Chain A
Amino acid sequence: MSEFALEVKNITKRFPGGVIANKDVNFALRKGEIHALLGENGAGKSTLMNVIYGLYAPEEGEIWVDGQKTEIDNPNDAIRKGIGMVHQHFMLVPVFTVAENIMLGAEELQGGRLDISSARKKIRELSRSYNLEVDPRAIVEDLPVGMQQRVEIVKALYRDAKILVLDEPTAVLTPQEADDLFIVMRELTERGVSIIFITHKLREVLAVADTITVMRRGEVVGTTSPEGKSESDLAAMMVGREVLLRVEKEEAHPAQTVLEVKDLTVHDERGLTAVKNISFDLKAGEILGIAGVQGNGQTELAEVLTGIRAPESGTIIIDGQKVPAGNPRYLFEHGMAHVPEDRHKHGLVLPYDLVENVALNTYYKPPFRKGLVRDEEAMLEATTDIIEAFDVRTSGPFSQASNLSGGNQQKVIVGRELSRPIQFLVVNQPTRGLDVGSIEFIHRRIIEERDKGVAVLLISAELDEILGLADRILVMFHGELVAEMPVAKANKEKLGLLMAGSEA
């Protein structure tokens, strides 16, 4: 018996295309502990876990389980060794029931037939004994993400996992749900499970971890205990320099009105009113923050303002001119830039390379057009500039957008949008899922734009982000604007109440 549940020795993993995702990585998980693996997007955390789980074959290195050197060539080996993994993107079949998902690969049979009732029974027993309630008969795609995550955890326990890897489990959870997860994690460790908890959120690391290992650019930069550590210490380890967790900015100098919105009403996909008769204006050189809980009409508002969706009624005026409905090109031509909420759906064409993505909205005019054809050289040059200026971690301008980590994808989008002359910028959840280094960077760029005289509309569900960046704040609730205030008059509690619909 070893004191370590899992040891990883000198692991090196290269991807085709030359990215070294793990460089001589050493890592040891003590039995019964919660070991946080902290690192920026693209640091190589998921890659390391996929190596441990047998999904990726490393070029070099050894894996030891319970003091014994082991070969893990495929997930079956890992499962047999008691390793369970909850992937960052859930590995559940959406149209299957919970029971079918959990039993898949470890099916119980009775006379050659699937024995689904004994699987259901075992699932019920597990959920009762670990306090992880799941309904074995529910269809997975009907479940909220928090519940799907629970299914993933039960799926690992169903296979008698003694080592549980949770890859960014809190990325999809609300803070309240995250706290519930931490309770479950504690409970699991008390029952002898050892947990690797991957995250880039500093608060969470300090809240639950027994040990912290920090990774940066594929390497382990240190292992420490949380005692006596502050968020900024960890941030500095993670990013490799001092990080400002709070952006610094000068007083705003709002100038002429750039955007006027009058009596705007918008319907969502299902034809329900998502935005109700709202009016506001936005001036050059200011950041207007729209605070609100997800799903209160912000998405639809942003879509209308950027021309993706046509409004039911109302007018949008830019530079004193009425904007035609649902015409993104008109808006681009009039200096609008957009960092969309869903970077996979609206921000990038994932199968395209970075060069093509950079040219995506201005490919039809110089400098990207030369005569009747595209100017590939100018496109490449622009891409290289963005990679440089925005510190995009990638194997090169021709790598496919889908191969970049979320933070780096976001930097490409921000880079593309801010690399042309603009006067009006819509940023929607610009730092969702990003690490502190990228957040700081993107915040700084947004403020720079403001200082250049761009009118910025910032939509965010993160109160820290709104309070840190905005000069003026609007609160949206059930499709209506329920309050307006300068940032100096705002604080978290007040905004939180307004966002929940109470008259503060």
Chain B
Amino acid sequence: MATASPTISQTEEKSFLRDNWILLSVLGVTLILILYFYNQNAIVTTAVLAAALRQSTPLVLGAMCGILCERSGIVNIGIEGTMLLSAFVGFITSFLLQDALGPGAIWVGVVIGVLSGGLMGLLLAWMSVTLRMDQIIGGTVINILAVGLTGYFYQQGLTAGDKLRAIPLGPLADIPLIGRVFFDNPPLTYLTLLLIVLVHLLIYYTRWGLRTRAVGEHPRAADTVGVNVYKIRYVNVILGSCLAGLAGAYLTLEAVGSFERLMTNGRGFIALAVMLFGKRTPFGAWGAALLFGFATALNTQLQFADINIPHQFVGLLPFVLTILVVAGLVGRTRDPKALGTAYSKE
């Protein structure tokens, strides 16, 4: 065998700085602008940023759904549908139970919403892992199913008694700017921030994460060392879809308080762009989601402010960003090698 061994020393965890420099520089510039505007008009700036975080929550949850699925090799374009269905199921559950359970009904709604997301994940996993169907078609099935089911059972004018309210975190909430933006939020927003950290740890520091990444890259290699490829894919798709379900529950039970037809409004697809922009890393996705959320929040604020740009143009921003990311113009991502391919043993 070769005598000289080239020693390319690198750490196991991919260098975050090197992989995400585009995203980081965009965020950096944004940060400087924020400070400038905060100096000009503190109230509006704080409002925009708080709205940005709110808008980013379903996006980063959806993106983490995409991360878990794609890291294990399954393309999930059914995030939109999963979110929509869970938004509906969570809302209806909480609506039906509000008389019996009072305020606790909302939490039951959240749990059932998350579980319904998991169920959609089970369906996608069954189609793409067991039946080896084309994964794009599998995701499309989920999207169509969700639109059909929620449309069929939709009743106009239902409103839940309440939605999840903000819980200011004591003195932390009084810090200027940061306190209002980060420490004065409703519970699912806090939960999402926690989940970002947890998913990061899961992917990079646990046995499950190592096996997941291996299965996404080279399922046969994983199989030959005794890793159950099917199990890894099933569980990741279901777990991920639970996160998409949480995003749906967030929309109806924390953000809005009622269900509207097609209320996810493309967030499940934007989440995929967020995932790509963030290079399939949870923190990268969070940064990207904040950026997208910021673009959306800006739009809302501009409608109030007296500025001469038609707000529709600013409203296009998230979608323009999505197209740029998906077209690979911003930060190319290397796909997991086995992404989109079914695995069969023989």
Contact = CB atoms under 8 A, between A and B. Distances in A.
A500 interface: no
B218 A105 contact: no
Contact of A104 (B8, B211, B337): B211
Contact of A142 (B6, B209, B213, B346): B6
Interface stretch (A106-114, A369-377, A460-468): A106-114
A173 interface: yes
Contacts, number: 113
Contacts of B227: 104-105
Task: Give the interface size bracket for A toward B.
Answer: 35 or more
B225 A177 contact: no
Interface in A114-153: 114, 116, 133-135, 137-139, 142-144, 146-147, 149-150
A490 interface: no
Contacts of B225: 75, 79, 91, 104-106, 155
Contact of B346 (A56, A79, A181): A56
Contacts of B207: 107, 109, 114
A490 B16 CA distance: 57
A114 B210 contact: yes
Contacts of B70: none
Contacts of A144: 2, 6
B1 A116 contact: no
A75 B206 contact: no
Contact of B1 (A56, A97, A100, A149): A149
Contacts of B10: 97, 137-139
A245 to B, nearest CB: 27
Contacts of A107: 207, 210
Contact of A135 (B9, B211, B224): B9
Contacts of A75: 223-226
Interface string B1-34: 1110111111110000000000000000000000
Interface in B43-82: none
Interface residues of B, number: 33
Given A79-B226, A104-B214, A147-B1, A91 B206 contact: no
Given A104-B227, A105-B226, A114-B207, A55 B345 contact: yes
A147 B2 contact: yes
Interface string B199-228: 000000111011101100110111111110
A116 to B, nearest CB: 6
A113 B205 CA distance: 6
A112 to B, nearest CB: 7
B206 A114 contact: yes
Contact of B214 (A16, A96, A113, A181): A96
Interface string A16-33: 100000000000000000
A99 interface: yes
A484 to B, nearest CB: 32
Contact of B210 (A74, A104, A138): A104
Q: Of residues B8, B10, B11, B225, which shows the largest number of chain A Cβ atoms within 10 Å of its Cβ?
A: B225
A239 interface: no
A96 B10 CA distance: 10
Nearest to A92: B221
A15 B5 contact: no
Contacts of A316: none
Nearest to B334: A95
A114 B220 CA distance: 22
A160 B193 CA distance: 43
B7 A135 contact: yes
Contacts of B222: 93, 104-105
A137 B11 contact: yes
B226 A94 contact: no
Given A93-B217, A106-B225, A147-B1, 11 more contacts: A55-B346, A94-B337, A96-B214, A105-B225, A105-B226, A107-B207, A113-B205, A134-B5, A135-B8, A139-B8, A150-B1
11 contacts: A55-B223, A55-B224, A55-B346, A79-B226, A91-B224, A97-B12, A135-B9, A137-B7, A146-B2, A147-B5, A180-B2
Interface of A: 15-16, 53, 55-56, 74-76, 79, 85, 87, 91-97, 99-101, 103-107, 109, 112-114, 116, 133-135, 137-139, 142-144, 146-147, 149-150, 155, 173, 177, 180-181, 184
Nearest 3 Cβ contacts at the A-B interface: A105-B225, A76-B226, A91-B221
Interface of B: 1-3, 5-12, 205-207, 209-211, 213-214, 217-218, 220-227, 334, 337, 345-346
